[in-house]
Structure 1
Amino acid sequence: MPRFAANLSMLYNEHAFVDRFAAAAADGFDAVEYLFPYAVPAAELAARLQQQGLTQALFNAPPGNFDAGERGLACLPDRVDEFRRGFIDQALPYAAALGCQRVHVMAGLVPAGADRGALRDTYLDNLAWAAQQAAPHGVNVLIEPINTRDIPGFFLNRQDEAHAIVQAVGAPNLKVQFDLYHCQIVEGDLAMKIKQHLPTGRVGHFQIAGVPERHEPDLGEVHFPYLFSLLDSLGWDGFVGCEYRPRDTSPGGTSAGLGWLRAWRAAQAA
């Protein structure tokens, strides 16, 4: 049965970040994920996880200047040193402190006029290096195809591209972060792509959101209960990150919008 992880960058925004752990645990989540942990000392985050009995499912490696619009460094030839320092000095120490086995490495935006071949070469070199650094710590490095509407110009957009990159690198701890929201927008055919890619062992994490507005997964064009059942049938017992924006933004809106999760759990318990 999929294990759902609350994305604390998007959910429970009525609370200060460090208070979202308790809110997620109160709603029955047993795992959390978020974009970046680096604004909070790792020891404080680890204490929150322990207090609430939560598992840290995933977070992102440093992406460059996120507030200025940067969305990762891994494909950029002129930022290799910065990418590697951030991975070694920040991402891996936080993963160790939080007991987190998955770190997402954002590819980055394609610079105007850039040679995509050179970007791909840099991306593969950085991923091979990161996977090698992460392996002794039991950490998987994840890459994620992201749709061109939410992040125009992002280097990696399709599942087949991501899986080809993982195969080309050949590191057993390099995996694909399969975001069903992004995949539906770019290419669709979700069930068949799950059936194609999940048995390969190259998928390390799933994420969900309703399409097209990125609200709860019970609103929109994708029938998620069918996909959850499909994941069950294929033996997926990993995490499914709930990376969506609650449609009710008032205090308590995240909890009020979890009817889809309560219904799924009730159906599984019946």
Structure 2
Amino acid sequence: MTKIRSVDRLDAPVVADVLALATAAEQADGVYPLSEDVVLRVRNGGGTHLLALADDGALAGYAFVDSANSGELVVHPGYRRRGYGSALLAAAGDGELAFWAHGDSPGAAALATKSGFIRSRVLWQMRRSLADFSAEAILPDGVTLRHFRPGHDEQAWLAVNARAFAHHPEQGRWTLDDLRLREAEPWFDPAGFLLAVDIEDTLLGFHWTKVHPPAGDDPALGEIYVLGVDPGGHRRGLGAALSVAGLRHLADTGLTQAMLYVDESNGAAVSLYRKLGFDIYKTDIMYSRRG
């Protein structure tokens, strides 16, 4: 019988083991198996961490489950097709559950089907070149841009983010802890966190950019990390203007590629990003099971 450990915080050696497992899976599959949020929880705690151990004590598989019964799962390439994935799903519980699979892989689809999960969401990563980016942002009347100020803008940003993503199952429930974890990350740069404000400095919308460092032969990559407009203070064209402003910022730093994540079902956002020159680069799938 597969041994599964369940903990809410990982000690340093196990953190290293989980991240090494994820790297081994990336090398085998061509896609990293853990999202940014899960990596932050691996390093900082929170949620439930499930560890599948082989007979020799080696880490054969890992799963994370958050408070909303959503998570991610990965099995080391050297231990696949031995029941570790099924054991991790069983350890996650019998009720309502959802797991992300990064990359639309046949193996993940087979495990999901076998375990009674159905394909429920599709998340696209889209990309475009910045080498020829020449657009300039045209803001609505009475709107200006300024940078995010750590220690000052957190609560206003959280309020607008919650309203802008009220129906989004992940982004809309961000807490101050979620925000501060990212502010503490090496990539965080207030200069790339653009806020659209009115004459009274009321926050109307934002474009938070992120820069991924070079990896192997791949150059540094800019990201539309979070883009939102307060539905209560909507200004026509603000979302498009913020998109352009953030991409302009990334291009001006010398980056040559930009990316973003968007739900396939978000027709308005997909349409905007296609107009901005983005094309689908890869696909992530959520598999869900009803309670």
What TM-score bracket applies, with the shorter chain setting the length?
0.3 to 0.5
- Structure having the larger proportion of residues in strand: 2
Instruction: Give the TM-score taking structure 1 as reference length.
Output: 0.33
> Which structure carries more helix by proportion?
1
Give the TM-score normalised by structure 2: 0.31
